[in-house]
Structure 1
Amino acid sequence: MRRAGIGPVLALWALSVAPMAYAQGAGDRPQDGLSPGTVQLPFVTLDDGRLFSGSRYGQALLAELEAEQKTLAAENREIEADLAQRERQLTDRRPTLAPEEFRSLANSFNSDVEDHRNAQKSKERAIYQRHDEARLRFRDVANQVLAQVMRERGALAIIAEEAIVLGFREIDITDAAIARMDELIGDGADLPRPTDPVEPPVPPAP
């Protein structure tokens, strides 16, 4: 037995999730689509975060994000090492250079450092933007799967698991949703994906 009690947050979730789920094909009366032997439950609960991290599709998206982050981190280390070497070389040359020549070289180096920093920050923003868009695609796909599970359970709405104060474990559909996602979607490799990478907007020149 788990915690129960429905408050304003729970009610808001029910109003926002149920119409979205039924729009994906669960518009018939829920009891008409009940699986044999299934007890109708007016509300079911879902751990949205566990659905994402526990499903093969969500895990594939997380692995993709981690791979991109590691690639960017390796690139950052390579750039930092190159800039550190250039800085040492410039410092070593300083005694042999005229002040104006050294100042010009130092300004050029500082400009390169700033350009690299801005470029890498733009790449990082693009990575997280792609991941955010992937999360939205995951939500769209998950809503269709959740609509199926709702119809089979005769549920009217899905409630956020954290909104429950006390309740029976049987009302939670997270494991069932993960299993259905894995069955129907797998790791998402066969789903349509954006063909063009997301590029960060270029700020206007000052």
Structure 2
Amino acid sequence: MAAVSVAMPAMAQPLNPQTAPQQVEPQLRSPILTLDTERLYAESLFGQDVRIEYDRQGEALAAQNRQIEADLTAEEQSLTEARAAMEPTDFRAAADAFDAKVQQIRIEQDAKQEDLQDILTRGREQFLVLVTQDLIGLMAETGAAVILDRRSVFLSAGVVDVTDEAIERVNDGYRARRDAAQGANAPASGN
């Protein structure tokens, strides 16, 4: 019993700092990498450009909808005021024509809203096509055989997540393609 009480205080003492193992970030690279695809898209220049265009067109559509609403409200008010001076059959015809106009406008504006949503859908599809080569290059540099979407991975070491590297690589590639396209569209300097 005495031996146990002597051993316990020794175990409770902190380790000598010279003998404590150093905490070092693991340098593990795996043939399987993870990537936060949502973050990659949202933080990429391409994804941000798509979002800016979506917001710009969305604001324009909202302004157009507000103007249409104001115009239709005024037209409805005018029709309501004219009702007293109109024959019932004439008013019914005018009211039906107004209702048909409202329904047609609603169909047109709904189609514009769907087109607006398509900007996001097409943007994501184009993004995946554009970044494929960038991600293949990242895989080659790291010796990876596969990149998985981080959302489908239950548990992994943080060092296999290459989202930050992918964002940087994708942005570099996007800048180069954008600059090349702008250079090709620039007017030639005259001789």
- Rounded Cα–Cα distance in structure 2 between residues aligned with 1:64 and 1:129: 12
What 5-or-longer segments of structure 1 have no aligned partner?
Answer: 1-37, 193-206
Pair 1:104-2:93 in alignment: yes
Aligned to 2:141: 152
Pick aligned residue for 1:117 from 96, 106, 110: 106
Query: Identity, % of aligned pairs?
Result: 32
Aligned to 1:26: none
- Rate the CA distance shift 1:112–1:148 in 2: closer, same or farther, 3 A: same
Q: Highest Rg: 1 or 2?
A: 2
The one-letter code sitting in structure 1 at the alignment partner of 2:141 is E
Aligned to 1:56: 45
Runs of 4+ in 1 over 6 A off after TM superposition: none
Q: Deviations over 1:101-127 (max 9, x none)?
A: 111111111111011101111111122
Secondary structure at 1:166's aligned position in 2? coil
Which structure 2 residues correspond to residues 1-206 of structure 1 after superposition, within 5 A?
A: 40-186=29-175, 189=178
Of structures 1 and 2, the one with the larger relative CO (CA 8 A, separation 6+) is 1
The answer as to whether partners of 2:28 and 2:160 remain within 8 angstroms in 1 is no
Secondary structure at 1:159's aligned position in 2? strand
Q: Aligned-pair distance for 1:162?
A: 1.9
- Rounded Cα–Cα distance in structure 1 between residues aligned with 2:114 and 2:151: 30
Secondary structure at 1:181's aligned position in 2? helix
State the aligned residue count: 155
TM-score by length of 2: 0.75
What 5-or-longer segments of structure 2 have no aligned partner?
Answer: 1-26, 182-191
- Rounded Cα–Cα distance in structure 1 between residues aligned with 2:180 and 2:117: 20
Aligned to 2:17: none
Aligned to 1:25: none
TM-score by length of 1: 0.70
- Rate the CA distance shift 1:139–1:191 in 2: closer, same or farther, 3 A: farther
- Rate the CA distance shift 1:187–1:121 in 2: closer, same or farther, 3 A: farther
Secondary structure at 1:186's aligned position in 2? helix
Normalized per residue, the structure richer in helix is 2
- Rounded Cα–Cα distance in structure 1 between residues aligned with 2:176 and 2:87: 61
- Rate the CA distance shift 1:136–1:190 in 2: closer, same or farther, 3 A: farther
